[in-house]
Amino acid sequence: MSGISPVRAWWAQRPPAAGAAVLATGIVSVGLRQAGAETLSRIALVLACVAWVGLAANFVLRLTLDRPRWLTEARTPGALTAVAATTVLGTRFSLLGRQPLAEALLALAAVLWPPLLVLVVRHWRGRMPGAVFLGCVATEGLAVLGATLAAALSTAWLAHLALVLFWLGLALYGLAVPHFVWRQVVEGPGDQWVAGGALAISALAGAKLLAADSARLYLWNDDDRGVLRTVSVALLILDLAWYVVLLAAEVVRPRPRYDVRRWATVFPMGMTAAATLSVAAVCLPWLDGLGRVLVWVAVAAWLAVAAGAVLTTRAALGKAS
């Protein structure tokens, strides 16, 4: 029994931002599927599900047994990773053909999204790290899953709702920009990458909305498609520009020490890969090669951060015991 107490004590200290690990692993699973590595994709999906279940249990326990702490943590931007991670898992399950499970995850994310978003945005302050963009990420995650299910179920209203969330997510990005501390690009511990990752998931949402259209649904006319295509490509270009800038900043000022916020570096990398492959599929096929390369870059980053997490956890449990 002596080993149980340290594990519980360590797990109880997990911050809301730990949800970024689920988000990162889930989007890497999506990217691997797009790149044709189905076996590795399913392994990543299993890992993401295990982590999601653990964090969900922790979320419920804090809500029922430690309400003051839950409210304090719910006001931080990291709380929105619960919504974003749930939508990414739902998207992956939809791609597997598990539509009822994907619908359940969409419903859960939709229930969590309004109260968490309101709590987080109401507590935005003047100068914040890259996590300030998680309001956009969570909203666009709903748009991605909604558009994916709309295509799978041939449901027009879900696609139109996803379109509203797509534009709302972009508005939240614009509102977050003045709060972002720009020196975080060279000083941030990892979550500065969310500034680019939010654009990546927005581009992915746009691509999914385009892909959801069909002769049966006829969601968008030529003008609508033209706007969605232009905005999606523009968002991807901006995201790739952020990717280059942030990667250059990591080279100029390396920050190799592990931090739980490094998972917020992995998920923008994976999201950029998934967005690039999705945009390639709907309008720019020549981007496919770049997208596949970016998938493996994201996998390498995931392995590095996972190794850091394991070593840090072992050290923490050793001290606790």
R_g over Cα of the chain:
19
Map residue 182 onto helix, strand or coil.
coil
Q: Which two tokens stand for residue 23?
A: 């988000």
Where exactly are the structural domains of the chain?
Answer: 4-315
What lies within 8 Å, CB to CB, of 226 at 6+ separation is none
Q: Which CATH number fits domain 4-315: 1.10.10.60, 3.40.50.720, 1.50.10.150, 1.10.340.30?
A: 1.50.10.150
Q: How far is CA 112 from the centre of its chain?
A: 15
pLDDT of residue 245: 96
pLDDT of residue 133: 96
Q: What is the pLDDT along the chain (321 residues), one digit of tens a residue?
A: 444 455 454 445 555 567 889 999 999 999 999 999 999 999 999 999 999 998 888 888 877 887 888 788 888 888 899 999 999 999 999 999 999 999 999 999 999 999 999 999 998 988 899 999 999 999 999 999 999 999 999 999 999 999 999 999 999 999 999 999 999 999 998 999 999 999 999 999 999 999 998 878 889 988 989 999 999 999 999 999 999 999 999 999 998 888 888 999 999 999 999 999 999 999 999 999 999 999 999 999 999 999 998 888 777 666 655
Closest among 308, 256, 309, 272 to 198, alpha carbons compared:
272
What lies within 8 Å, CB to CB, of 265 at 6+ separation is 190, 191, 193, 301, 305
Closest among 165, 164, 135, 162 to 146, alpha carbons compared:
162
pLDDT of residue 310: 87
| 310 CB burial (10 A radius; 0-12, 13-18, 19+) | exposed
pLDDT of residue 316: 63
pLDDT of residue 17: 64
pLDDT of residue 25: 96
What lies within 8 Å, CB to CB, of 9 at 6+ separation is 320
Q: Is the dihedral of CA 258, 261, 263, 265 positive or negative?
A: negative
Closest among 306, 271, 264 to 80, alpha carbons compared:
264
Q: Which two tokens stand for residue 78?
A: 């990291």
Read off the DSSP letter of residue 128: B
Note the maximum CA span of the chain: 66
What b/e sequence results for 205-223 when a residue is b if at least 16 CB atoms lie within 10 Å of its CB, and e otherwise? bbbbbbbbbeeeeebbeee
